[in-house]
Amino acid sequence: MSSAFAIEARGLSKDFGSLRAVDGLDLNVPRGQIYGFLGPNGSGKSTTIRMLCGLLTPSEGTALVLDTAVPGETKALKPKIGYMTQRFSLFGDLTVLENLQFIAEIYSYPAADRSQRIGNLLDRYDLVQQKSQLAGTMSGGQRQRLALACAVLHHPELLLLDEPTSAVDPQSRRDFWENLFRLAGGGTTILVSTHYMDEAERCHRLAILDHGVKVADGTPRELQDATGMHIIEVSAENPYEAQAAIHDLPEVASVTQLGVRLRVLIPQSYEHPVKRIEASLAAKKLQATTQLSEATLEDVFVAVTRKAESDTT
Amino acid sequence: MISASRIMAIVKKEVRQLRRDRLSFGMVVGLPVIQMLLFGYAINTDVRNLRTAIVDQAQTHLSRQFIAELAQTQVVDIVEYAQTMPELESLLRRGRISIGVALPADFDRRVALRSRSAVQLLVDGTDPTILGVANQLRSMPFDFDVTPSAARWQLVETRPYYNPERRSPVNIIPGLMGVILTMTMILFTAVALVRERERGNLELLINTPLSSAELMVGKVIPYIVIGMLQLALILGVGRLLFDVPVRGSIVDLYLAATAFVAANLTLGLLISTAAKTQFQAMQMMVFILLPSILLSGFMFPFDGMPSFAQYIGEALPNTHFIRLTRGIMLREAGLGEMLPDLLYLVGFTLVAMIIAATRFSKRLD
């Protein structure tokens, strides 16, 4: 019996000594979708991915990955998942072609179709020119394309990508995401961790991790609608002083400066947020225009991680 | 389930990587040749040209004849003439000379009377080898030695088998083979896994269907071939430069070497599963290499070592290999006659391989 979810995790936790890297994570990743892990460094993204593919044993909790129990006999799982490590992990002293051949042999890809498959991948991931180049001498973007080509060579059902775009330029990131969407369109489930907001926004669904705890999950739209915050945008002539004036108001959850604009988050339990801010700016005789705004994913991120902080203190 | 094609994939990858790694490649060829030259020429228990000073207080025709004959032996190299005994002792203490020869004023009379010894050798006994050479000088025949031949009758006679010319390289090279192979083979595999861990390759590999055993076997096979090449190189250089014979069967020698190389490679893998960094692997290797040189019978006769050192020696693959090589190359022994040593190497390989494959978990924690 096949579950509707590629990954179902219940109470997944991992301790490293006294540090709890992942704490009671519940996760439902639907098949054929791109699911994002958004969180700062050290929030437990890599640890979770490593637990899901059997590299790390969870301290507590279980998961069902492609109907295989984790922790458990993960041997049967290996041929069905593709994994792209955060650090480039292919062989720098082998050429692009040799790396692909090696991966094909390790996954016992049918010998008759091997060269055709590799040829297709070289085309698809724009590596034909670099075919005979040593992988270690390539640029970040080229390495990343090679890593992805190697991860998908054996047609995995589930692709685990650990911060795949952290070392590449914006154009490469765009191309990379196009590739991900095409793979998802072909039925591959993709779990991708990132700390870029724009990437998180492109996922079908995402979970926000903070200090090993899942603080929110849903589609980007759902998350933006459910911040529980008024978002007020303040355009001030002197944003620095304006920030100082607003920051100390008891109702303000956070103030973020974007150029001359300030984004102010106030919990929805307070009424008339715009008036409150205008009043405090007027008191300091500061020139500014104020308006309500839609929540971006960044606002969501700030809101949920702040909430987690105030919960613990 | 072990897959031959996955093992071959690892073998192919290792060979490709090795071919591009000039330093390792140089180690395959350079290390054996350099060591052969160093050990072959430098280690020489057949000592000649010991620096010597002489005090000739007799200054007679006979004393000068003795000194001339002493010089002709080439065992000593007379570098200085001293005037007094204290001067001679000072030279010895300062390390300027290894042997001091003192001829007393009544040298002629002592030679004639044969009551007391006529020549005194002051020997730097800190090196037992030099002391041994000096002792040989005692039995040197001299022309003016008028003793009837009956007086030089020997109760015990030695017949040096297998190395009648008593050449050191004949003893050194078969042992050196073991030392060189220990060094290169352990080094190759000791860093093999750790390097992949450091470079991050391992995180990729353990997420593939590749099993630990496949990875281990695949990593060992190419280096067995390299070990065989090194062996051929050592035998060739030994033959060419030092005239070291292979009296037994070359097939036996290669069989023994295969077992030995495999034992060292798996030992290297074992180190690799314990070490966290390449540097740590190197440090651990020293702990194997030093006893392999000192306690294996390579440098010092095995029988002369205290029993605890012999136990350590017995555990080391090199000890057994040196016995095998000396047996096969010099004493013309068959492999069948030396079965226990061969079996130990085979057993060692199997046990180390199993431990290494078990210790190497396909996990990161």
Interface confidence (ipTM) of the complex: 0.84
- Provide the number of structural domains found in chain B: 2
CB contact under 8 A, A108 and B209: yes
CATH code for the domain in which residue A46 is found: 3.40.50.300
Tens digits of residue pLDDT in B5-23:
999 999 999 999 988 988 8
For residue A103, the enclosing domain spans 5-223
If DSSP codes are grouped into helix, strand and coil, which group holds residue A210? strand
Average pLDDT, chain B: 88
- Whether residue A196 lies within 8 A of chain B, CB to CB, comes out as no
Choose from B2, B13, B24 for mutation: most chain A CBs within 10 A: B13
Q: Do A77 and A52 belong together in one domain?
A: yes
Question: What pLDDT digit, counting tens, does each position of B236-250 carry?
Answer: 998 898 888 899 999
pLDDT at B114: 78
Are residues A26 and A83 both part of a single domain?
A: yes
Nearest CA in chain B to A156: B208
Q: What is the pLDDT of residue B145?
A: 56
A153 in the same domain as A41? yes
pLDDT in tens, A223-257: 998 888 899 999 988 888 888 888 888 888 888 88
Amino acid, single-letter form, for residue A194: T
pTM given for the model: 0.83
Q: Which of A81, A85, A108 sits opposite B204 (nearest CB)?
A: A85
Give burial (CB, 10 Å; 0-12/13-18/19+) of A254.
middle
Domain hosting B68: range is 50-152
**CA-based angle B167:B171:B172, to the nearest 5?**
105
Residues of B whose CB is below 8 A from A54: 362-363
B212 shares its domain with B342: yes
From CA B144, how far away is CA B153, in angstroms rounded? 18
Show residues of chain A in contact with B24, CB under 8 Å: none
Task: Based on the fold, state whether residues A176 and A267 are members of the same structural domain.
Answer: no
* CATH value at residue B130: 3.40.190
Assess whether B260 and B131 both reside in one domain.
no
- The predicted structure's pLDDT at residue B151: 52
| Pairwise CA distance, residues B200 & A88, whole Å | 7
In this structure, the answer to whether residues B305 and B253 fall within a common structural domain is yes
Contacts of A133 in chain B (CB under 8 A): none
Contacts of A151 (CB under 8 A, 6+ apart): A82, A83, A84, A159, A161
Residue B160 domain-assigned? Answer: no
Shared-domain flag, residues B11 and B56: no
Q: What is the pLDDT of residue A253?
A: 87
Chain A residues with beta carbon closer than 8 angstroms to that of B205? 106
Q: Is residue B317 part of a domain?
A: yes
Same domain, B39 and B71: no
Confirm whether B324 is domain-assigned: yes
Segment B20-43 shows an average pLDDT of 84
The mean pLDDT value for B157-180 works out to 83
Kindly give the interhelix angle for B317-325 and B250-274, rounded to the nearest 10 degrees.
Answer: 170
Chain CA centroid to CA B4, Å: 38
Closest CB to B201 among A89, A107, A134: A89
* A114 — pLDDT class (breaks 50, 70, 90): very high
Among A222, A225, A200, A217, smallest CA distance to A34 is for: A200
Q: What is the per-residue pLDDT for A245? A: 87
Nearest CB to A89 within list B20, B204, B210: B204
Mean pLDDT of chain A: 90
**Are both B87 and B121 inside the same structural domain?**
yes
B364 within domain boundaries: no
Q: Do A95 and A156 fall within a single domain?
A: yes
Peptide bond into A71 cis (omega under 30): yes
Q: Which tens digit of pLDDT belongs to each residue from B93-114?
A: 998 999 999 999 998 888 888 7
**What does the pLDDT read at residue B167?**
79
Q: Are B135 and B13 in contact (CB under 8 A)?
A: no
Lowest mean pLDDT segment, chosen from B23-37, B53-67, B205-219, B303-317: B23-37
Q: Reduced to 3 states, what is the DSSP secondary structure of residue B236?
A: helix
Co-location of B23 and B60 in the same domain: no
Q: Is B19 on the interface with A (CB under 8 A)?
A: no
Mark whether B70 and B39 lie in a shared domain: no
- For residue B244, being part of any structural domain is answered with yes
Q: Are residues B174 and B130 in the same domain?
A: no
> Looking at the structure, do residues B126 and B172 belong to the same domain, yes or no?
no
A189, A60: one domain? yes
Q: How many structural domains compose chain A?
A: 2
The A189-194 sheet, strands edge to edge:
A81-84, A158-161, A189-194, A34-38, A205-210, A213-218
